[in-house]
Amino acid sequence: MWSIGDTKSRTCAGISRRGFLQVGFSGVLGCSLPQILEAQANSQKANPQKRQMQVLLVWLWGGPSHIDTFDPKPDAPLEYRGPFRTIGTNVPGIQVNEYLPLLSKQADKYALLRSLYHGTNDHGLAGTIALTGKEISGGRVLPSMGSTVARLKGYRPPLSTFVTIGGRMHQGHRPLQGEGGGVLGALYDPFRVEYDEIEGVKIHDITPPEDLTSARLEHRKQFLKALDSAQESLFTHSSADIVNTMYSRAFDLISSKAVHAVFDLDKEKEATRDRYGRYRFGQSCLLGRRLIESGVPFVQVNWSSHVESEEDWGDGGWDMHYRHFEVTQERHMWMLDQSLSALLDDLHQRGLLETTLVVAMGEFGRMPKINEKAGRDHWNNCYTALLAGGGVRGGNVIGSSDAKAEFPASRPTKPADLCLTVYERMGISRTDLLAQSIAPEGDVIEELF
């Protein structure tokens, strides 16, 4: 069985033009021919020794509690602060939750943005706002940050400009609308891979079956050329050239040993894999570092595909309306602490943190006042994001929440501001965004740098 994304066929003839175009355009390549040529030309002119800025977004789907992670309130009433203790960090004046001991020793590497807010407590709508910088309006969805980078920075062979590690995100049975190309189209959706604790890295878009030899792959390529010839009358000359080039790129990617090597975690030392953690999020973070090292401009690591925790038929998301403290202590907190601290350490030791902006956040926080089920409900009025690298001034706190972590007390900040800050780091100006009609309304957070 040949698998290219969601399109499966037992013979080459079974791969429809439409099916292959969907894969070639949205899953594998992520750019148009003019962008490919422009990116290659720019690459040849650029200084090969200069490393370009990259982004690694750690997406904590489900809404982690800000008051139980990076914005604790030890002096608040018990029904707000909860049962966890607060510990100091290696930066005087900055405190975090007691179950983040490794990250507490790295506060000099990151900044905390403690005054984020927006207008909805619905996971899907909030996720779209956080990832795109704007709410859905009249059915119009802006592209996610990664998709915007893919559109404006162009294709970076041999991999996509935007890679997501994790399955498509859902709230129950509803897919998240804001994680892909939006108004730019599926062409700018992320190239997607997953890590499974049993199967390892799953590369749905480019993994051929074991019996597919290079000769058979070439045969399929020739078949598609013949198909192009037979249907050429359906296209303009320029359109046919673009389609043929995209076919060629797709086959190059599928057959590239270099691409497959990036996803081979067995090449890592056992101690490194242990440091990140032998579970989905830990190995996904390690895979994210390998993609950054390979030169992918925008990498997104998803904590989970569903907002719900495993107890609610999800896959371990941060949405816990009951048993919140028990579950986060047993699973979420130490995993986040181990894997995110390993990622920051590893990037720093490899000299990559300076040119890699790491952003860790969810779509909102949790209600500071504990509910009657010993849980915390959704809270969009104030939450926290962690940023490191990419020129971020470590040991820094931007904004603050009030005494109960309910509302911003200083420097209220919108997701649009954070998105624009990411774009600015990537060399994307407001003018660039306005030219594509995809500019969120906000301002760059200058205090981070």
pLDDT tens across 89-135, in order? 999 999 999 999 999 999 999 999 999 999 999 999 999 999 999 99
Please, what's the b/e burial string for 235-256 (b: 16 or more CB within 10 A of its CB; e: otherwise)?
eeeeebebbbbbbebbbebbbe
β strands within 89-197, DSSP E: 95-97, 110-116, 162-165, 170-171, 174-175, 191-196
Give the mean pLDDT of 408-415.
98
**Among 107, 191, 99, which residue's Cα sits nearest to residue 386?**
107
Q: Which tokens go with 358?
A: 């790491």
Give the global pTM. 0.83
Between residues 29 and 105, the one the model is more confident about = 105
The rounded distance, in Å, linking the Cα atoms of 321 and 406 is 17
Between residues 230 and 82, the one the model is more confident about = 82
Between residues 252 and 341, the one the model is more confident about = 341
Biggest CA-to-CA distance, the chain: 74
The band of 154, judged by pLDDT with boundaries at 50, 70 and 90, is confident
Q: Tell me, what's the pLDDT at 280?
A: 97
Q: What percent of the chain has pLDDT over 90?
A: 70
pLDDT tens across 274-291, in order? 999 999 999 999 999 999
Q: What percent of the chain has pLDDT over 70?
A: 76
Residues facing residue 165 across a β-bridge: 193, 301
Whole-number average pLDDT of the chain: 84
Q: Tell me, what's the pLDDT at 366?
A: 98
Annotated domain spans of the chain: 54-205+277-448
In a 13 Å sphere around the CA of 76, the CA atoms on its Cβ side amount to: 22
The band of 2, judged by pLDDT with boundaries at 50, 70 and 90, is very low
Q: Which CATH number fits domain 54-205+277-448: 3.40.630.190, 3.40.720.10, 3.40.50.2300, 3.90.330.10?
A: 3.40.720.10
